[in-house]
Chains A and B, each alone.
Chain A
Amino acid sequence: MALLLVLGAPATAQAQSWMSDVQLGVATGLEGAGTGSGVGWQRARTRLILSLDLGSDEHAQDAYGVRTFVELERSLSVGAEFGYVRWVIPELNFFFGGVAVLAPETLFGGTAAANYTFPLGKRVGIALFTSLSVLPLGSDRPGDGVVMWWLLGLGIRGRL
């Protein structure tokens, strides 16, 4: 009877907590696309990026990230990225995922990014990031060309 009570008693579950990082940044860089007679380049539209990374403390090196962005120049457009975040060291992570411009025209593709955070305190830091995106699908391409972005950005990062 005592054995049954011991076995049946609820064990103390180890609490799993979620870690979430929020980052607000601004970025610009180079935009390239196939024009039919070679690759054309121009400065990429400046964009505001709001990102949220969510991961478990049991797997502190892994997280999933969502980035929403608004392109501010020429015509205003809205897009998002979703992907996997891998922390290499506490200050540096890499992001791999999909990227899409959703409105008013569309672009779809893949992206890879690196994000380095200079700590300013226990929960806040200045983030320096770069990304490379290739977007071979969507209505906003020049003909059948592929749009490419290489971006460099600066932001502020905080842990919730």
Chain B
Amino acid sequence: MPRLRLEPLLALALALTACGANCLRDSDCDDGRQCVRDSCVRPSVAEDASASGAAGQAGGQGMINPSYPGMGGTGGVGGASMTEQGGAAGTNGSQGGSAGMDASFGGSATQPRENLDASADADADVDAS
């Protein structure tokens, strides 16, 4: 009887543990959170993220990296900025893609508050143009 080789199965299990998605279903998340792009987020952030994502794709921009609570000391501030800019992105076509990129900078835990405001001003310029 041939011996069953377990190494491939162990490697697969390790890979899934190390690289597996944080969530794939809403029920993978705690109560009151949704699974968006394999991360658990609050529903309001999820809606903004999907609106920004649609605009970002229309503008040919890269991925948006929404900020999640608990990722850094200023995560809450980043999230608020993301919400405002995400809304603009959702209604602004290709320019929205640019706004989406700014939103990801706003989500950075290391970004000072002054720079967030500057980013918001820059967005206003983009929207005006």
Query: A residues bordering B, Cβ < 8 Å?
Result: 30-33, 35-37, 40-43, 74-75, 77, 104-105, 107, 139-143, 147
Contacts and interface: CB of A to CB of B under 8 A. Distances in A.
Contacts of B28: 74-75
Chain B contact residues: helix, strand, loop or mixed = mixed
Contacts, number: 58
A43 B37 contact: no
A141 B36 CA distance: 10
Contact of B27 (A40, A42, A75): A75
A121 B12 CA distance: 35
A70 to B, nearest CB: 13
Contact of B26 (A30, A41, A142): A142
B24 interface: yes
Interface residues of B, number: 18
A35 B24 contact: yes
Contact of A41 (B20, B27, B36, B53): B20
Interface string B66-91: 00000000000000000000000000
Contacts of A139: 26
A141 B37 contact: no
B56 to A, nearest CB: 11
Contacts of A30: 16
B58 interface: no
